[in-house]
Structure 1
Amino acid sequence: MKHISTQEVRHVKGTFDLLIIGGGSAAFAAAAEASTMGARVGMIERGTIGGTCVNVGCIPSKALLQAADLYARAAHHPFQGMTFSPEALDVPALLAQKDALVETLVREKYIDLLAFYGITLISGEGAFVDAHTVQVNGAFYRGEKILIATGTRPAVPYIPGLTSIGYWTSTEALQPSYIPEHLIIIGAGYIALELGLMYRALGSRVTLIQRGTRLLRTLDADMSEVVQRILKKKGIQVLTGARIERIEGLPGAVKARQKVRLTISLVHPVYHEQPSAHHEHASIRRDEAPAHRNHVASYRDEKIVLPGTAPHEQTSAQSIQIEGEQLLLATGRTPNTERLRLERAGVQLGRRGEIIVDETLATQTPHIFAAGDVTLGSQYVYVAAYEGKLAAHNALLDNGGSDRIYRNLTVVPSVIFTDPQIATVGLTEEAARTRGLAVTVARLSLTDIARARVRYEEEGAYKLIFDQASLRLLGAEIIAPEAGEVIYAATLAVKFGLTRDDLVDTFVPYLTMAEGLRLTALSIQKDVRKLSCCAG
């Protein structure tokens, strides 16, 4: 972009009280708040209105997850005397339905709101000229206050050979032209788990490859083990402690489908489950499995065979190869900041390109704010909306900042839409003990919860962390069907300081997953297995 002179900058096309760069959840929440405060609002959006969540994130992924769950359960439900045989999967029809839903929600929740709130939409890519001026398609727009809410995109790490193959990110994985026979996923966070289980339900073999040695470090180690056990039963292979050395493409068995081969170094012993009878699945093999955990293992200098490799293609655990039909990158997110010319506005970036803000969401330039994923804070759409509203409020105050509201993210629930779901809020046991807190911990298996029993879905657990002295609830971890629905009650309990007795002494409907909260709290003092229904 050429340098813009001061004379050229004076000819602005529009001036706004709040000029927003971005058109997603944070941006729209900010625009609505600013409009309510009587501000003139301009919104610059270079792509599709609505941002990641509604277009290529939450909405399409959860629609496809629901479809995949129904497809898998039709053939593998737990009830006797009922047999279903699902027809062949019609991928184009499924995607068309998903796309229609996305289009409807984009219109209802975003496009229609532009006129309702009186927001001026400026289509095109924005770049700063100075701290108050943004150029879009050769025109200049001035903001008395400016909010940056440009979000993130899938991160693509440097791996030798990666650019020579046709890999997927989460975006492409939600718009597949086919269901791969074997999907290899680099990463094992929430995106990897959701999409991995989705494709497993649709019939793919799935391998997760993670650099770290433990899945989901946001969970306590014992709850992470529960997730590992569930993945085992669903036939998903997990390689932890792995470093990818190179990637190469291979001719595919199906025309126009390229296979992929990964060469991986394993930095520690890798345990892996044998395939279950329910799901045919290849696994690492060795002659003698360890006596504990019913796993098989590969150790340094021992010969192993990995899924996707022929039996004769054995190698050492220090350098192994794995082949699949498609590769999915689920290695985090990258902020959309590199084309904004933020140096012209004095906005400081962090190591990963994220915008640095204080707790009022102001940048180093006091009248410029940032909200949502672009700051690489909590990557949840509801946090982005909260921050957008807060940033607009703080930006438009007339007192120079003395009455600004500080961001409060101390009690933020999270849900991973796996099967079963994984939901958390507050402190884990490990986090509480790291802070030096004395805690009382209660954990209950789903086998002790009647709702799980009648569903024949008993893989999972509830875990509650209480302050030892007051028995105030500090945190909750739930791995269960509909855990995302249950976690809201736990969130309220953590936020408002409810105690173990509050949970035990409050009525909860019988045969609900929410009853798990009460039973887990009750288990501190009683063996709930020795109680009749609803007693205690």
Structure 2
Amino acid sequence: MSTECFDIAVIGAGSGGLYFAAAAVQFGQRVVLFEKAEMGGECLNTGCVPSKALLAAAKQAQAMRDAARAGITSVEPHIDFAAVRAHVQGAIAAIAHHDSQQRFEDLGVTVVRAAARFIDGRTLEAGGRRFTARRTVIATGSHPAVPPIPGLGDVPYLTNETLFANETLPSHLLIIGGGPIGMEMAQAHRRLGARVTVIEAATPLAQDDPELAAAVLAQLAAEGVEIAASTAVTRVTRAGMGIALEAGGRSFTGSHLLVATGRKPNIEDLGLGAAGIAFTPKGITVDKGQRTTNRRVYAIGDVAGGRFTHEAGYQSGIVIRNALFGLPARAAAAIPHVTYTDPELAQIGLTEAEARAAHGDAIRVLRAPFSGNDRAIAEGHAGGLVKIVTTRRGRILGAGIVGPGAGDLLQPWILALERSLRIGSLATSVLPYPTRGEASRRAAIGYFADFASNRLVRHVIGLMSRIRP
């Protein structure tokens, strides 16, 4: 069997793999891209895009129910679930061309629609063909982690990979897992008319600051989502045409079941051992430059322990600098994340609890509630909060925001952490009025609030006022 030779091989056509392949070929590299499933990967087909489209439809429905607070007659919307599904599929189709095989072949990438497997340290086999490359990037992503709950394998259940193909609005959706996916889909389906119960073995939204997460959980509860926290599911059984869960001494019965209990890296059948690539159940082992134990091979995204689409894209940039230009690039320590409920919940860096664990009491916690923000008041969404954690000397350690558009409002704090800016940089910025972004500036100004009562500061001001003409 002859071997086809390339400069770069990319395994996986999700967001990270596509980003890298497009960049490499435009820098003149001969690139082969392997994908055994759909181009665009999980994010486009069963993750970020369809979930946000479904949330958008649900938000429109909720706006009709909440119109009275702005002087408009509220109405209960009629939900055409088939039309909602068409909206979701339309969003996927509108983006799919950008990730399509045709586009990448037009760029000059050789696309092989087959699973790739290492047969030695630099040779891959796929679709009955053999390939070798100077550098290989593994970007195979992850798949839903299904817990070993007795009886779960005997009932029909949904994951994010099958949820958006569901053609019937559940009458009662049971969700195992209270993380971002579980909570987003709980709110979306509740707003579209389903009864929803979330069962979480530990703490819902545990990755976020509890003070901020509480606002999201309170909103979901107000909308009628039942949340059973610290409740482990011990058995799953059929219940007539539905499904029953035993959890925490209680029984929950619903029409549909969604399992949203995390992700597992796609490392099976890659032949990692043959290539000398170390891995664990959490993913492929990489250094700070995303290089594996085989110096010719890199790994990015979920398969290397990542969690987010934007993280995979960022890591692609790291590998481009390392693999193509030999530049000493390393991945950042702080990766932002957003839970796209309504209100949104956004976080970067350390939470208050994490900051106290690392720095003790040598921190400052700054808060700016949206109740003091004119734009939020004018729009009737004044329940948000900006929460910033700094050292006593003003170095920013973390930022969290809960409220409308929190993911967008987090962006200046992302830049501040990346550039090691101090809190004064945000406090002295000039922002347009009225915007919700002013809440961030108000939080930053809070760092200097104690200066007004500081005796030394007051003495200096008094002295300056006497000696200046």
Task: Tell me, yes or no, whether TM beats 0.5.
Answer: yes
1:467-523: CA deviation from partner (whole Å, max 9, x where unpaired): 212x23221110000111111012122223333333232221222111110122234
Residue type of the partner of 1:405? P
> 2:333 & 2:178 partners in 1: Cα distance?
25
Q: Contact 2:216–2:341 at 8 Å: present in 1 too?
A: no
Distance between the aligned counterparts of 1:386 and 1:75, measured in 2?
A: 39
Aligned to 1:277: none
Q: Does 1:47 align with 2:37?
A: yes
1:228 and 2:217 aligned: yes
Aligned mates of 1:404, 1:355 — CA distance in 2: 22
TM-score by length of 2: 0.91
Counterpart selection for 2:254 from 317, 324, 343: 324
Task: Name 1:391's counterpart in structure 2.
Answer: 319
Per the alignment, residue 245 of structure 2 pairs with 262
* Number of aligned residues: 449
Residue of structure 2 equivalent to 1:381? 309
Alignment of 1:117-516 (within 5 A): 117-212=107-202, 214-252=203-241, 259-265=242-248, 319-352=249-282, 354-377=283-306, 379-397=307-325, 403-436=326-359, 438-469=362-393, 471-516=394-439
The alignment's TM-score, normalised by the length of structure 1, stands at 0.80
Rate the CA distance shift 1:264–1:87 in 2: closer, same or farther, 3 A. Answer: closer
Mean Cα deviation higher: 215-224 or 154-163: 215-224
Question: CA contact under 8 A between 2:396 and 2:420: conserved in structure 1?
Answer: yes
Q: Does 1:83 align with 2:80?
A: no
| Deviation (angstroms), 1:187 | 0.7
Please name the residue that 2:441 is paired with: 518
Task: Describe the superposition over 1:424-472 as per-residue Cα deviations: whole angstroms up to 9, x where unpaired.
Answer: 1122122222112611111232222222212222333211112212x23
Could you tell me how far apart the structure 2 residues matched to 1:22 and 1:115 are? 15
Distance 2:367 2:442 in 1: 10
CA distance, structure 1, for counterparts of residue 77 and residue 195 of structure 2? 20
Provide structure 1 residue ranges, at least 5 long, that are not aligned to the other structure. Answer: 1-7, 253-258, 266-318, 398-402, 528-536
Q: Is the 8 A contact 1:145 1:396 kept in 2?
A: no
Letter in 2 for 1:425: I
Tell me: CA distance 1:447–1:133, structure 2 relative to 1, closer, same or farther (3 Å): same
Matched-pair contact (CA < 8 Å) for 2:245–2:253: yes
**AA aligned opposite 1:472:** R
Q: In the aligned structure 1, how far is the partner of 2:71 from the partner of 2:219?
A: 25
Residues 128/408 of structure 1: CA separation in 2 closer, same or farther (3 Å cut): closer
Aligned counterparts of 1:161 and 1:494: Cα–Cα separation in 2: 46
Structure 1 residues 19 and 497: alpha-carbon distance in aligned structure 2, compared to 1, 3 A threshold: closer
Shift of the alpha carbon at 1:86? 5.4
- Deviation string 1:345-371 (CA, Å, 9 cap, x unpaired) is 11111134x111111211111111111
* 1:367-402 deviation line (CA, Å, top 9, x unaligned): 11111111122x1211111212322442345xxxxx
Inter-partner Cα distance in structure 2 for 1:21 and 1:33: 15
Distance change (3 Å), C-alpha of 1:486 and 1:112: farther
What displacement does 1:60 show?
A: 1.3
Partner of 2:465: none
Q: How big is the shift at 1:249?
A: 0.8
Structure 1 pair 473/123, CA: closer, same or farther in 2 (3 Å)? same
CA distance in 1, matches of 2:399, 2:164: 31
Deviation (angstroms), 1:44:
0.8
Give the whole-Å Cα distance in 2 for the aligned partners of 1:410 and 1:54.
26
Moved over 4 A (4+): 524-527
After superposition, residues 9-20 of structure 1 pair within 5 angstroms as 11-12=2-3, 14-20=4-10
1:479–1:80 CA distance, 2 compared to 1 (3 A): closer
CA separation of 1:516 and 1:19: change in aligned 2, threshold 3 A: same
Work out the CA distance in 1 between the residues paired with 2:218 and 2:259.
Answer: 23
State which drifts further: 119-128 or 87-96: 87-96
Change (3 A) 1:505 1:433: same
1:342 aligned counterpart, secondary structure? coil
Contact kept? 1:147, 1:392, Cα under 8 Å = no
- Is the partner of 2:183 in helix, strand or coil? helix
Find the aligned partners of 2:72 and 2:94 in 1 and give their Cα distance: 36
Q: CA deviation at 1:78?
A: 4.4
Q: Once the 2 structures are TM-superposed, how far is the Cα of residue 173 of structure 1 from its aligned partner?
A: 2.1
Unpaired segments ≥5 residues, structure 2: 451-469
Q: Partner letter of residue 43 of structure 2?
A: C
Is the 8 Å Cα contact of residues 182 and 325 (structure 1) preserved in structure 2?
yes
Tell me, yes or no, if the aligned pair for 2:64 and 2:77 is still in contact at 8 Å: no
Counterpart CA distance in 2 for 1:80 and 1:132 is: 63
Structure with the largest fraction of helix? 2
2 CA distance for matches of 1:457 and 1:503? 23
Q: Which amino acid aligns with 2:205?
A: L
What is aligned with 2:59?
69
Q: Distance in 2 between matches of 1:386 and 1:222?
A: 29
**Does the residue aligned with 1:410 lie in a helix, a strand or coil?**
coil
CA-to-aligned-CA distance 1:11-34 (integer Å, 9 cap, x gap): 22x211111111111111211232
Q: Which amino acid aligns with 1:261?
A: A
Gap change, CA 1:102 and 1:228, over 3 Å in 2: closer
Answer whether contact 1:33 1:393 (CA < 8 A) is retained: no
